[in-house]
Structure 1
Amino acid sequence: MKFGQWLGLAAIIAAVALLWNLRGLLLQLFAAVVLALAICTLVGAVRERLGCPRPLALVISLVGLALVVVVGSAVLIPPFVEQFAELLAKLPDAADVLIGLARRVLSNVSRILYGRHDGSLEWLQQLWPSEGPSPEVVAGGLGGGALRLLGLASNLGSGTLQFVFVIAVSLMLAVQPTAYRGVLVLLAPSFYRRRFGRVLDLCGAALSAWMVGVVISSLFVALLAGVGLSLLGVKLVVANALLAGLLNVIPNVGPTLSTVFPMSVALLDAPWKALAVLGLYVVVQNLESYVITPSVMHAKVHLLPGLTLTAQFLFTIVFGPLGLLLALPMAVCVQVIVREVIIHDILDPWKRQRLSP
């Protein structure tokens, strides 16, 4: 290799290393783009309904979003916080009940198989020692707890700054989306800029369709979960219904986590209620997957479950918890880029050249 080639290789390696070190910032920028695209989708809907210019539609959309956030926070957050705190307090009691049920079931199985209780369940009793912790253990736990609280405060401060940064950038992008799109298009080679702009438009359309579908399906999931839990007589309906709707944004993992809390509350009343809650959530998720989401999608966004799970695993490893939250929109964009750039622009012309005489 010549000196220029070695220099180009070194520049590529340095660029990859720089992007890897800035992956957290890039993910925050992507979150800002997704949020700005959501605002632009709302602005487009307002313009279509009212026939007003874009600046006025933007003001109406932002004021409407602010009112929804303020009213929703005043109405829903206080009962949610109260019920969620009570929900967390009930989890240890639910774990005790579950351990007790497991002990009784295994003891009965042991009695049926061996005709007597042979003491093989002593390992279960060791899970919950009867003796209290020593003063040294308590002191160490308090010290570790204080350090964890300091770390939590630092993380909350950093998270608040990142949240403000994402909101500010998303508002800037929503005010002038065409100008920022033009700057991004200029980063592509001159011969590919028109096509690159088309690919960006397709990514935006796919993300808009995904966001509309997720918002509507999450509202339906929260409503159906709340109605079902009320009919079953499960306590803390508001907290559990809101958790079901919020966690529905995270596919595969979110719906599974949302079943833990209502099942724990129902288990304290009766075991059959926990099974009924599990059946309810299975029905709700099947309705969401096969009825609600297909009917509200304005454009077809087909992601195979295996690819979705792989994207969640990969982006969580690379980007952390925020990567899990943004795994699906990133997978939607990657799917469009692979289909339009790699397959349509690179592989298809190469195949036609090989087949031509």
Structure 2
Amino acid sequence: MKFGQWLGLIATAAAALLLWNLREVLLLLFAAIVLAMALCTLVGVVQQRLGCRRPLALVASLLGLLTLLVVAIAAVVPPFVSQFQELLQQVPAALSLATRMLRQGMDQSSQMLYGKEALHWLQQSWQSQSSNGLDPATGLLRLLGLAGNLGSGLVELLFVIAVSVMIAIQPIAYREVFVLLVPSFYRRRFRQVLLLCGDALSSWMGGVLISSLFVGVLAGIGLSVLGVKLVAANALLAGLLNIIPNVGPTLSTVFPLSVALLDSPYKALAVLALYVVVQHLESYLITPSVMHHQVKLLPGLTLMAQFLFTVLFGPLGLLLALPLAVCLQVVIREVLIHDVLDPWKRLRTSEP
């Protein structure tokens, strides 16, 4: 290769390395773009309903979201905090009860299979671990690490919100800046691809909102029937964590299950059965019927995207796995297939 080609190759490798080192910042920017798309969709609806200009619709949308956030915090957070404090005080009793029930079940299973306590060595290891206390210095270091992670997470959240609001104020201007980063001959087509990505994200967010509302309502009704405390907070958690498929529903089960376990083990089993039924309804009835009219994502590809983006980007990659998969699906279909592979196929078939 010539010197210019070597120089271009080195510059490309350096740019790829720089982008990889900045992957967390780029992922935060993508999160801001997703949030800005949701805000732009809401602004469009408000502008269409009220017949006002975009700045006024944006202000009305932000005030409405802020009002909903304040009402939700005032209605959910105080009882949630009090219940969580009570749960923290009673967690040792709940853990000992769960451990004792698990040991009894293991003993009965071992006696039925082997006629003796074949798992006695495991019980001894549990007892030795429970007898060993936590080093105060280690606990302090863990507490400081948790505080640092919470602080950095809060700063990142504020950054995402600020950037998303800035993009929502002038979405077309920011889109044109992004279009200028590609070669001039492809800018018109790239603008169309960006518009398709925006439409796909808006459709996906609409489907997720409908599905999360169904999950929250069903969880709230079921928890009210079972008599579990803090129904509103648990239903809100179920709806919010439903955004993260496969992992979110499992996390949303932990708190109501712990609260129910403090009352009765049978109530905890009933809560577990309730959440299993709700998630099956969401997975096999609600989401397919909603997403069929919104975004067509195969379940296998969704699971692969979650695993891949979690390995590459960590917890934030897991949270943004589905919007990333939605955008990648549009890019692969429009750029790779329509713009690269299809013309090459037509060129090969036209050859004599």
With the length of structure 2 as denominator, give the TM-score of the two structures: 0.92
Matched, 1:199 2:193: yes
CA contact (8 A) 2:103 2:123 kept: yes
Matched, 1:171 2:170: no
Task: Tell me which residue corresponds to 1:222.
Answer: 216
Cα distance change on mapping 1:286 and 1:91 into 2, 3 Å: same
Cα distance change on mapping 1:198 and 1:87 into 2, 3 Å: farther
CA contact (8 A) 2:106 2:119 kept: no
Q: How does 1:104-143 map to 2 (within 5 A)?
A: 104-115=104-115, 117-118=116-117, 120-129=119-128, 132-133=131-132, 141-143=135-137
47-56 or 271-280: which moved more?
Answer: 271-280
144-153 or 162-171: which moved more?
Answer: 144-153
Question: Per the alignment, in what secondary structure is the counterpart of residue 245 of structure 2?
Answer: coil
CA contact (8 A) 2:31 2:160 kept: yes
User: Which string of whole-angstrom CA distances, capped at 9 and with x for unpartnered residues, describes residues 277-306 of structure 1?
Assistant: 222112212322344335555953122222
Letter in 2 for 1:128: Q
CA contact (8 A) 1:94 1:268 kept: yes
Cα distance change on mapping 1:54 and 1:296 into 2, 3 Å: farther
Q: How does 1:28-107 map to 2 (within 5 A)?
A: 28-107=28-107
- Alpha-carbon shift at residue 274 of structure 1 (Å): 3.0
Cα distance change on mapping 1:300 and 1:215 into 2, 3 Å: closer
- Alpha-carbon shift at residue 268 of structure 1 (Å): 4.0
- Alpha-carbon shift at residue 94 of structure 1 (Å): 3.5
Task: Tell me which residue corresponds to 2:14.
Answer: 14
Task: Tell me which residue corresponds to 2:336.
Answer: 342
Structure 2 CA distance, aligned partners of 1:55 and 1:71?
Answer: 24
Matched, 1:152 2:146: yes
Q: How does 1:252-271 map to 2 (within 5 A)?
A: 252-271=246-265
Aligned CA RMSD, in angstroms, stands at 2.2
Question: Per the alignment, in what secondary structure is the counterpart of residue 127 of structure 2?
Answer: coil
Structure 2 CA distance, aligned partners of 1:128 and 1:216?
Answer: 47
Structure 1 CA distance, aligned partners of 2:305 and 2:248?
Answer: 15
- Alpha-carbon shift at residue 67 of structure 1 (Å): 1.0
Structure 2 CA distance, aligned partners of 1:164 and 1:130?
Answer: 41
Letter in 2 for 1:10: I
- Alpha-carbon shift at residue 337 of structure 1 (Å): 0.5
7-16 or 48-57: which moved more?
Answer: 48-57
Structure 2 CA distance, aligned partners of 1:160 and 1:119?
Answer: 49
CA contact (8 A) 1:90 1:265 kept: no
Structure 1 CA distance, aligned partners of 2:231 and 2:87?
Answer: 10
Could you list the runs of 4 or more consecutive aligned residues of structure 1 that deviate by over 6 angstroms after TM superposition? none
Structure 2 CA distance, aligned partners of 1:31 and 1:88?
Answer: 33
- Alpha-carbon shift at residue 341 of structure 1 (Å): 0.6
Q: How does 1:267-346 map to 2 (within 5 A)?
A: 267-297=261-291, 299-346=293-340
Cα distance change on mapping 1:37 and 1:320 into 2, 3 Å: same
Cα distance change on mapping 1:299 and 1:43 into 2, 3 Å: farther
Matched, 1:210 2:209: no
261-270 or 67-76: which moved more?
Answer: 261-270
User: Which string of whole-angstrom CA distances, capped at 9 and with x for unpartnered residues, describes residues 311-340 of structure 1?
Assistant: 112212222211111111111101110111
Structure 2 CA distance, aligned partners of 1:83 and 1:245?
Answer: 19
Cα distance change on mapping 1:175 and 1:299 into 2, 3 Å: farther
- Alpha-carbon shift at residue 143 of structure 1 (Å): 1.2
Cα distance change on mapping 1:3 and 1:216 into 2, 3 Å: same
User: Which string of whole-angstrom CA distances, capped at 9 and with x for unpartnered residues, describes residues 81-140 of structure 1?
Assistant: 22234345554433333322222223223333344x34643422431349844xxx65xx
Cα distance change on mapping 1:217 and 1:119 into 2, 3 Å: closer
Structure 1 CA distance, aligned partners of 2:106 and 2:97?
Answer: 14
259-268 or 36-45: which moved more?
Answer: 259-268
CA contact (8 A) 1:266 1:277 kept: yes
Structure 2 CA distance, aligned partners of 1:234 and 1:69?
Answer: 24
- Alpha-carbon shift at residue 49 of structure 1 (Å): 1.3
Structure 2 CA distance, aligned partners of 1:152 and 1:260?
Answer: 20
Question: Per the alignment, in what secondary structure is the counterpart of residue 127 of structure 1?
Answer: helix
Structure 2 CA distance, aligned partners of 1:270 and 1:208?
Answer: 43
- Alpha-carbon shift at residue 170 of structure 1 (Å): 0.8
CA contact (8 A) 1:315 1:323 kept: yes
Task: Tell me which residue corresponds to 2:244.
Answer: 250
Cα distance change on mapping 1:88 and 1:313 into 2, 3 Å: farther
Structure 2 CA distance, aligned partners of 1:153 and 1:279?
Answer: 35
Structure 2 CA distance, aligned partners of 1:113 and 1:175?
Answer: 68
Question: Per the alignment, in what secondary structure is the counterpart of residue 187 of structure 1?
Answer: coil
With the length of structure 1 as denominator, give the TM-score of the two structures: 0.90
CA contact (8 A) 1:229 1:237 kept: yes
Structure 1 CA distance, aligned partners of 2:245 and 2:227?
Answer: 27
Structure 1 CA distance, aligned partners of 2:12 and 2:29?
Answer: 22
Structure 1 CA distance, aligned partners of 2:144 and 2:113?
Answer: 53
Structure 1 CA distance, aligned partners of 2:144 and 2:129?
Answer: 31
Count, aligned residues: 351
